[in-house]
Amino acid sequence: MAISSPGLGSGLDVNGIVSQLMSVEQQPLIRLNQKEARVQAEISAYGTLKSGLSSLQTAMDKLADPETFRATKATSSDADVFTVSSDTDAVTSSYNVTVNRLAQQHKLGSTEFASTATFGGTAGDELTLTVGSDSFTLDLSSANTLQEIQSAINAESNETGVTAGLITGDSGNQTLVLTSGSSGYDNRVQLSFGGSLDSSTFNFSMLNRDANDQLLADETELDASLTVDGVSVTRSSNSISDAIEGLTLNLQSAGQASVSIAADTGVAKSAVSGFVQAYNSLKDQLSTLDASGASGSVLRNIENQIRGVLNTKITGLGDYSYISELGVTTNSDTGKLEFDSETLVTALEDAADSVTGFFSDEDSGFAVGFGTLLEGFVQSGGTIDSIIEGGNNRIDSIERSRESLERRLEDIEARYLREFGVLDGLIANMSTTSEYLTSQLDILSNLAGGGRNNN
């Protein structure tokens, strides 16, 4: 609000005076804004803390997984023959593997025909493709060229997995090629005919060749063949996971190579190291929050509970009772964790089941207790969410107070402007009256002086 040309008549700086008075009146608003900024910073900090607790929880999930401590690593002596991977069912061992042949997708090729040649055209004429238990029947009661047959086989309605290709040779004639969607004898393409059509209509023959570029002698040779320590193994796929427990062999070419399996302690080392890093990062966040003036009692409660679980004795699960026995210790100066990976590796080599039980026992393992505690902090509606919700409620209250205060300040400014507007008018009137009186006195003085001169 403003008055029309305040101070114009009196020379009084009404706007300046009101502005200075409002600066004083606005101090409560400034303090309110500062309070809101502190609460917003606290909410943000607790959000960061929740993220840190969630990161620690993620690290703890890896420690809760027994496979972390049972990981194995398999190595092939010749990756050109086969590659290999292992899981926790694999045991430390080695095998000699000879790959005799790779599995192939069955391929059939027709005799060459002119592109204008047609097939079928009589009622009942049909061609049926069968792979395993799936079949697809092509109606040829109307005559079709090879190109039309190819398009029909490649239609989405064909669920056998068989695809059709068309090869045009130097003569200009065409060969229809059928390829199974999967490798192996059980996934071979089987053909049947109806009506006037029979096997001689297209004269399909197998196109698959061996490593020496010779046609396969029999469809059974579509399967992969290998020997493992002298034991014959035949499978329909080049990815074989059921020959050696815990191992998957991915065949690449015919040849001989060995595979060795060893314990992979690197997985466990990485998981424990990740836990230590997440814990130390969380400790830094707690320190930062404490220094910022956040609720010290809440922070101490969180830190004390975490430290309590960290130092809890685990009993009845094997040779180890404290995480310090597995290489994780607390620095007495900083309170942060330190990790000696060699201590963990030695423990895994000496008593892998005890290490696994200490961390991963589903009833009383280290990770279970720690994970339960963390879940109470980070779950929806948990400790941190409650603190953040309280902060947001304070922000809402501050906003309501600000709105009320801003309305009050507007009323105060309007009142100041009205009052000083009245004062401005009074001073202007007084100034006008003063000037008038001064003028009249001057006139009287001049009149009086003129009369004396005349005498």
CB-based contact 323:365 (threshold 8 Å): no
Q: What gap in Å lies between CA 298 and CA 304, rounded to an integer? A: 10
Rg (C-alpha) for the chain, rounded Å, is 45
Helix 383-454 and helix 14-25, axial crossing angle in degrees, nearest 10: 150
Q: Is 189 exposed, middle or buried (0-12, 13-18, 19+ CB in 10 A)?
A: buried
The pLDDT value given to residue 330? 93
Q: What gap in Å lies between CA 359 and CA 323, rounded to an integer? A: 9
Q: Indicate yes or no: pTM above 0.75.
A: no
Q: What gap in Å lies between CA 437 and CA 428, rounded to an integer? A: 14
For residue 269, what are the contacts with CB-CB under 8 A and spacing of at least 6? 341, 344, 345
The pLDDT value given to residue 8? 47
Question: Which among 408, 410, 407 is positioned nearest to 418, based on CA atoms?
Answer: 410
Question: Which among 380, 381, 378, 302 is positioned nearest to 61, based on CA atoms?
Answer: 378
Q: How far is CA 400 from CA 22, 386, 393, 412, in A?
A: 21, 21, 11, 19
- Copy the structure tokens of residue 28: 């409560």
CB-based contact 354:320 (threshold 8 Å): yes
Q: What gap in Å lies between CA 183 and CA 185, rounded to an integer? A: 7
**Domain map (residue ranges) of the chain:** 29-68+266-387, 72-102+223-263, 105-221
The pLDDT value given to residue 431? 67
- DSSP 8-state secondary structure symbol assigned to residue 257: E
The pLDDT value given to residue 357? 95
Q: What gap in Å lies between CA 453 and CA 455, rounded to an integer? A: 5
Q: Is 80 exposed, middle or buried (0-12, 13-18, 19+ CB in 10 A)?
A: exposed
How would you write the pLDDT of the chain (455 residues) with one tens digit per residue?
444 455 445 566 777 887 887 778 788 888 888 887 877 877 777 788 888 888 999 999 999 999 999 999 999 999 999 999 999 899 999 999 999 999 999 999 999 999 999 999 999 999 999 999 999 999 999 999 999 999 999 999 999 999 999 999 999 999 999 999 999 999 999 999 999 999 999 999 999 999 889 999 999 999 999 999 999 999 999 999 999 999 999 999 999 999 999 999 999 999 999 999 999 999 988 888 777 666 667 778 888 888 888 888 998 889 999 999 999 999 999 999 999 999 999 999 999 999 999 999 998 999 988 888 888 888 777 777 777 777 788 888 888 888 888 888 888 888 877 777 677 667 767 766 766 677 767 777 777 766 555 55
Q: What gap in Å lies between CA 84 and CA 274, rounded to an integer? A: 27
The DSSP code sequence of 59-91 is: HHHHHH-GGGGS-EEEEES-TTTEEEEE-TT--
